[in-house]
Amino acid sequence: MLKKVCVGFLFAAGVGLAIYGLEARADDLYQAAQQKQALAIYQKMTLDERIGQLLLPSYVLLSNSVSVDSKDCKNAVADGVQVSPAQIIKACGLDQIKKYHIGAVLTGGGPYFNAPTLRHWAALNALAATQHRLGSPLDPVLLTGNDAVHGNMHLQGAVIFPHNIGLGVTHDADLVRHMGQVIGQDSLSSGFNWVYAPTLAVAQDLRWGRTYESFGQQSALVKSLGAAYIEGFQSMQNNRLTGPVATAKHFIGDGATQYGFDEGDDAYSGTFKDFWQANGQGYEGAVAAQAATLMISYSAIDDQHSQNTTRMHFGGKWDILNQFKTTGISGSDGKQYRFSGFSVTDWQGATRAAYFYNLYHPTLSLAEVFAKSMNAGADMFMVAQGDTVNPFDATSPTNYTSIGEVFDALKSAYQDGLISESRLQDAVTRILAVKSLMQPRITQSYDVLQQQERALALRAAHESLVLLQNNHHVLPLKANQMKHVVLVGATDDLGTQNGGWTVNWQGQKGDQYFTGVDQVSSGALTLEQALKLHLPTSQFYHAGDALPKDATAANTVVISVVAEVPYAEYMGDIGNKQAIDEWYQAGGGNGTNAYLGLPQNQSLALQWSASDATAIASFKQQDMPVITIVYSGRPVILSEGGAQAPLVHSDAVVAAFLPGTLGGQALSDVLLGNYRFRSTVTGQSNTLSFPWPNNMSQVADHFSQGAQFPIGYGLAD
Ligand code: BGC
Ligand code: BGC
């Protein structure tokens, strides 16, 4: 008897395998839970409780309805123990979680607290959960979302890993899987059980400010690393998610927008099959890895020919979102891939889609906006503060100022028949199915965890560096070449090394959030700090300093860093009007990123300043070796600007991308030969996952005429 059951089970699994490969498990899992546990809960819920499941407000939206700029909440949380839980709940507007039966909250990219520590986040998330238990007693868990895109990035002192572009360079799925596990554990420790990662974009145009969130331009690589990350995050055991819920994002075509404009239009008029082939393979991996959630992209597929009807939050073209969620899509390997978790909009996603749509059609009411998005396949709505009717104009009227208004809009959409009962049931039971399979577990002490994270972040940083040039085998450096070390450029800037999405949405310059105990926990060292540590007897100088008489070509090395300033999303676009407008409105002006008060790059060329170039020219005249490190979110142009062009005037060039808190250490290791380029077993680490441009026309025509360095390039030393 027992034997028969087993055979039956194997047979069922076998059928699944035939259709989806290993992928079938995900489908079976969430679908089965939807039909059983989730449906049972749904049937007992009131209408208000069901509507509450659709809501994903930001903490700031909740607390802004109590005080301007969440001031009371920030103060209350900062005061910590001196303030009673009831006071924090009130000051942060958490009672709305109870009142509107909210089933999920998130923190956006913003800083939120002045001192964003593990304790503060954990306390806030725990208090939110108390309100959730009161307002939604049938709901298994409150989802608490963060953007852990390269580590548990909202915490000061967190270990920051290389961004996805660097992970693409590693070509190391095991490493990425392991990273997912530890970052997942870190997120759980701070009370976040849902991570908005990984990004599965195949970035086509390097002008896109989110290029660094993309693993690379080869879909197969995006597929394998994306799947590994998701498996790591969710740490599925016995069909339960023991890590946080992962998010495959942003569905679909976010990396294929024309001119690389963030949130732009793919302007794609080819076939469905080709579109999927180019942009969809990561989602095949996501289904295979049992990704529980899918975040919808701001982008459009073909808006310019379609009167703005192809924004993904309104379903895209070909009803592609609904297709992926219902019938499934025939994948690049001929297998059928169906996503059976739940989908979530991006930040203010539905209303941003409506803005474009309304330009060509009778203006939709708020209820109609949410209904339209929901009917196109959105199951949950990420709603946030400052959502204006015209997203490019901060002074335009807001769509809503409180979560109550969103609740009312969705409820009336249902009551007026704009959302059918079966659609509501499908959305809510998809959400409840995921929740019913969650069994988050913290498995080790935080100290041990951070120790593991540091080790892994160092390994990731090592494998993510690409040696672009190494004339006369100048690298690795020999000890006797290091009596005098001249440092040029951003050698001592941790913020630049980490990039965007580091504590703050846009990141920051300098060592803010990473000093004292936070430096120890994060393992943060700049390149300069790491070199000084490893070369205790060397003398260090900066570009303008006079060198001693005994400094010669044989005992002196010049190490320069050229870098992009930190940025996130459209703030990193090159030539994107939206970004520029927003800087102006925020009072920045003149190409200054107002979030950072820094000049924004308008070109992909990185050069030495005129004075650094002059200094370097004189070192070169004395035959001193010049090593250049590049910190950037994407391949940049290094050959423009005459004497200021690093590629032509450096002996060795290392592309470091955004290597994270252990990046300084990793670089010091490669310079000194303690880690050798391409020394991993596969030999695939330390090789480019994007082509490297020589000039802007190569970027603009997507390398149809060749590249300075092709995909797969990377020297051994
Ligand atoms: C980004 C998402 C992110 C979300 C929440 C959006 O602006 O596009 O990638 O997960 O904000 O921070
Ligand atoms: C938020 C981010 C979000 C962005 C989108 C910021 O204010 O903090 O999470 O991605 O707005 O515009």
pLDDT tens digits, 159-202: 999 999 999 999 999 999 999 999 999 999 999 999 999 999 99
For residue 384, which ligand has an atom nearest its CA?
2
Which H or E run contains 228? Answer: helix 219-234
d(CA 325, ligand 1 centre) in Å: 21
Per-residue pLDDT, averaged over 358-385, amounts to 98
The reported pLDDT for the residue numbered 584 is 59
The reported pLDDT for the residue numbered 599 is 65
Query: Which residue type is seen at 519?
Result: Q
Q: Tell me the torsion sign for CA atoms 507, 509, 511, 512.
A: negative
CA dist 343 to 62, 293, 307, 429, 597, Å?
22, 5, 25, 12, 36
pLDDT tens digits, 288-298: 999 999 999 99
From CA 324, how far away is CA 310, in angstroms rounded?
16
The reported pLDDT for the residue numbered 681 is 87
Per-residue pLDDT, averaged over 250-267, amounts to 95
Q: Which pair of structure tokens corresponds to residue 521?
A: 């926990």
Q: Tell me the torsion sign for CA atoms 48, 49, 54, 58.
A: positive
> What residue has token string 């000890």?
479
| 138 contacts 49 by C-beta, under 8 angstroms | yes
Residue 3 pLDDT greater than 70, yes or no: no
Q: Which residues pair with 486 in a beta bridge?
A: 541, 558
Phi, psi values for residue 669, rounded to 5°: -60, -45
Residue 411 pLDDT greater than 50, yes or no: yes
Q: Residue-wise over 404-434: b if at least 16 C-beta within 10 A, else e?
A: eebbbbbbbbbeeebbeeebbbbbbbbbbbb
From CA 249, how far away is CA 58, in angstroms rounded?
18
Per-residue pLDDT, averaged over 25-45, amounts to 89
Contacts with 142 (C-beta within 8 Å, 6 or more apart), sequence order: 97, 102, 103, 104, 105, 128, 129, 132, 136
The reported pLDDT for the residue numbered 699 is 94
From CA 504, how far away is CA 506, in angstroms rounded?
5
Phi, psi values for residue 142, rounded to 5°: -85, 125
Report how many helices (DSSP H) and strands (DSSP E) the chain contains, helices first: 28, 20
Q: 145 in ligand 2 pocket by Cβ < 6 Å?
A: no
DSSP secondary structure, 360-385, as one string: TSSPPPHHHHHHHHHHTT--BEEE-T
Q: Tell me the torsion sign for CA atoms 342, 346, 347, 350.
A: negative
Q: Dmax of the chain from CA atoms?
A: 89
d(CA 336, ligand 2 centre) in Å: 35
Q: Which residues pair with 627 in a beta bridge?
A: 559, 652
d(CA 502, ligand 2 centre) in Å: 13
Residue 6 pLDDT greater than 70, yes or no: no
Q: Which pair of structure tokens corresponds to residue 26?
A: 């995900």
The reported pLDDT for the residue numbered 9 is 34
Q: 168 in ligand 2 pocket by Cβ < 6 Å?
A: no
| 142 contacts 97 by C-beta, under 8 angstroms | yes
Task: Give the residue, 28 or 330, on which the prediction is more confident.
Answer: 330
Q: What angle do CA 57, 63, 66 make, to 5 degrees?
A: 130
pLDDT tens digits, 64-80: 999 998 999 988 988 77
Task: Give the residue, 6 or 356, on which the prediction is more confident.
Answer: 356
The reported pLDDT for the residue numbered 130 is 98
Q: Which pair of structure tokens corresponds to residue 340?
A: 């059976």
Q: 646 in ligand 2 pocket by Cβ < 6 Å?
A: no
The reported pLDDT for the residue numbered 591 is 57
Query: Which residue type is seen at 292?
Result: A
Task: Give the residue, 12 or 318, on which the prediction is more confident.
Answer: 318
For residue 293, which ligand has an atom nearest its CA?
1
Burial (CB count <10 Å: 0-12, 13-18, 19+), residue 644: buried
Contacts with 352 (C-beta within 8 Å, 6 or more apart), sequence order: 263, 298, 311, 313, 391
The reported pLDDT for the residue numbered 28 is 83
d(CA 22, ligand 1 centre) in Å: 30
3-state SS of 146-214 is ECCECECCCCCCCCCCCCHHHHHHHCCHHHHHHHHHHHHHHHHHCCCCEECCCECCCCCCCCCCCHHHC
pLDDT tens digits, 259-278: 899 999 999 999 999 999 99
Q: Which of 278, 276, 162, 252 is nearest to 213 (CA)?
A: 162
d(CA 347, ligand 1 centre) in Å: 6
Beta-strand pair 598-599/592-593: antiparallel
Residue 337 pLDDT greater than 90, yes or no: yes
pLDDT tens digits, 460-515: 999 999 999 999 999 999 877 799 999 999 999 999 999 999 999 999 999 999 99
Of 196, 383, 385, the residue with max ligand 1 atoms within 8 A of its CB, to mutate for a pocket test, comes to 196
Residue 108 CA: which ligand 2 atom is closest? 9
From CA 519, how far away is CA 524, in angstroms rounded?
5
Ligand 1: which residue has its CA nearest to atom 8? Answer: 346
Of 154, 297, 347, the residue with max ligand 2 atoms within 8 A of its CB, to mutate for a pocket test, comes to 347
d(CA 346, ligand 1 centre) in Å: 6
pLDDT tens digits, 438-452: 999 999 999 999 999
Of 346, 506, 573, the residue with max ligand 1 atoms within 8 A of its CB, to mutate for a pocket test, comes to 346
Residue 147 CA: which ligand 1 atom is closest? 10
Q: 386 in ligand 2 pocket by Cβ < 6 Å?
A: no
Q: How many CB atoms lie within 10 A of CB 82?
A: 8
For residue 262, which ligand has an atom nearest its CA?
1
From CA 385, how far away is CA 574, in angstroms rounded?
27
Ligand 2: which residue has its CA nearest to atom 10? Answer: 109
For residue 250, which ligand has an atom nearest its CA?
1
Q: Which pair of structure tokens corresponds to residue 703?
A: 């390398």
The reported pLDDT for the residue numbered 585 is 64
Burial (CB count <10 Å: 0-12, 13-18, 19+), residue 7: exposed
List ligand 1's pocket residues with C-beta within 6 A: 108-109, 147, 196, 249, 346-347, 569
Q: Residue-wise over 454-468: b if at least 16 C-beta within 10 A, else e?
A: bebbbbbbbbbbbbb
For the chain, what's the residue count?
Answer: 717
| 109 contacts 116 by C-beta, under 8 angstroms | no
Residue 589 pLDDT greater than 60, yes or no: no
Q: Return the percentage of the chain with pLDDT > 70, whole number.
A: 93
d(CA 116, ligand 2 centre) in Å: 17
3-state helix, strand, coil in the chain (%, to 5): 45, 15, 45
- Reported confidence tier of residue 575, pLDDT bands at 50, 70, 90: confident
> What residue has token string 């570009």?
543
DSSP secondary structure, 93-123, as one string: TTHHHHHTT--EEE--SS--SSS--HHHHHH
Q: Which residues pair with 484 in a beta bridge?
A: 539, 556
The reported pLDDT for the residue numbered 342 is 98
Phi, psi values for residue 252, rounded to 5°: -145, 155
Q: Which of 127, 254, 124, 155 is nearest to 201 (CA)?
A: 254
DSSP secondary structure, 468-514, as one string: EEEGGG-PSPPGGG-SEEEEEESTT-HHHHH-SSBSBTT--STTTT-
Q: 591 in ligand 2 pocket by Cβ < 6 Å?
A: no
pLDDT tens digits, 654-709: 999 999 999 999 999 999 999 999 998 888 999 999 999 999 999 999 999 999 99
Residue 21 pLDDT greater than 70, yes or no: no
- Reported confidence tier of residue 2, pLDDT bands at 50, 70, 90: very low
From CA 203, how far away is CA 517, in angstroms rounded?
37
Residue 17 pLDDT greater than 50, yes or no: no
Residue 598 pLDDT greater than 90, yes or no: no
User: pTM higher than 0.85 for the full model?
Assistant: yes
Question: In the sheet that 293-296 helps form, which strands lie side by side, from edge to edge?
Answer: 247-251, 293-296, 342-344
| 298 contacts 349 by C-beta, under 8 angstroms | yes
